[in-house]
Amino acid sequence: MVISVRDLDCLATSPAGALPIHAVRPETLSTFLETRPPAQAAYVRGTGFTAKSGAVALLPGSAGVTGALLGLGDGTDPMAFGALPFALPEGSSCAFAGQLDCPEGASLAYLLGAYRFDQLRATAGRPPARLVLPKGCGKAVSIATATWLVRDLINLPANILGPDTLAETARHLLAGLGAEIQMIDGAALQAAYPLVAAVGQGSARKPHVLVARWQARDAGPNAPLISLCGKGVCFDTGGYDLKPAASMLRMKKDMAGAAIALGLAKLLIENEIPIRLEVRLGCVENSISGDAMRPLDVIRSRRGLTVAIGNTDAEGRLVLADLLAEASDANPDLLLDFATLTGAARVALGPDIGAFFCNDDTLAMRIETAARIQHDPVWRLPLWNGYNSLLESHGCDLNNVSEKPYAGAIVAALFLQRFVRPGTRWAHFDLYAFNDSGRPGRPEGGEAQGLRAAWELTSKIVNNSVAIK
């Protein structure tokens, strides 16, 4: 089974009949209303519209709705435009009117706000209003299409999206874009990725590792090599260290790291970024059976380090460890991994801010800049070497968890660092990848957290606007 990339159904094919959208701030609202017909201005004032961010007021006329006002509030986040698709009349189209600070950002927010996940319903919900895309905003369509795919994959339940479906979806997509694909399973996976195999051995749905390689037509043999790794745990019971029922309700999203890595790869390839690209996805399910890994099992990793399983619910770092070992051995210029890894990162930063760890200060600053540009917030946490001793284990090289109850996200990142070849420029993203409630541009459900920041980083860093080294 393959999950298809959806076409955006929120783009107008013609500007004819499009409702004008006027974006206003609280300080410009009065001036704008003075330019409107008196009855229309009185109506807007009567609704109590104050240009709060994401607020929408329809403008009446003799023939019905003649346009709309969008409140931008006092901030700079363009996601307010994501409130429009379902606030405008069904069946309508719209176009931005007047000068915008960033037409592409506004367009992207609109397209992200038009997303909805209703494929599993007997009756689909109402379609969004359609946007007349401003000229020069094609990248917004590319980013939104990748984001919709990532959201779809995260939102699908685990009985539909298992390890084989996730791997096959990635294979179909990347092969269709011209990448060379390896699909590893069975005895070959056990030999090459023993930690991945250990995580998946308890499930009837066997693990798969996908390795994809692509090189842009304009990229020579010395073009930058960017390597992406993604945690694709399609459902996480916690294994024998079983999660409480409430903690299991979101575990269909534990493959979000693989989905985000796949979405980023799609963007890099479709936009012909002049690089060499490698992608590794560990697609697996952490389940319970007589074959499942047990607490204090000891497994020899791909890197050769022996790992004691201090907690079977710390499985994501095991999946990534083997992938990072192989990826870093290829000497990439940049190595990024994505995972829904620790609850500790959520405790520290909440659900809206992704945590990242980085072993290079210059790279970390560039990630922070990229995140600000794209309004895709991430925050650096430290790879504090003083906590390395927390991973010590009796009788083998290291434990996959600490016996202490603190610094869980840092300890997880330090575990991963043990498998990254020294000298590799590496960043690890520990993400929530879910919107617990809907907001403009961010509907409830799966979220491609960190995708836009990583896209901004990787597309700019290799287009010579920012040096990679």
Catalytic residue among 243, 250, 300, 380: 243
Structure tokens at 7: 């076409």
DSSP code string of 18-77: PEEEEEE-TTTHHHHHTTS-HHHHHHHHHHT----TT-EEEEEETTEEEEEEEE-TTS--
| Helix, strand, coil share (%) of the chain residues, nearest 5 | 35, 20, 45
Strand locations in 316-405, DSSP E? 334-339, 354-358, 378-380, 398-399
Active site residue 266: no
| Cα–Cα distance measured from residue 137 to residue 9, given in angstroms and rounded to the nearest whole number | 16
Residue environment code for 22-34, b if the CB has 16+ CB neighbours within 10 A, otherwise e = bbbeeeebeebbe
Burial class (CB in 10 A: 0-12, 13-18, 19+), 439: middle
- 293 Cβ contact partners less than 8 Å away, ≥ 6 residues apart: 198, 199, 201, 202, 239, 240, 299, 309, 312
Active site residue 280: no
H or E stretch at 312: none
Catalytic residue among 116, 302, 317, 346: 317
For CA atoms 301, 303, 306, 307, the dihedral sign is negative
Phi then psi for 292, rounded to 5 degrees? -70, 150
3-state secondary structure (DSSP) of residue 187: helix
Question: Which residues are catalytic, by number?
Answer: 243, 317
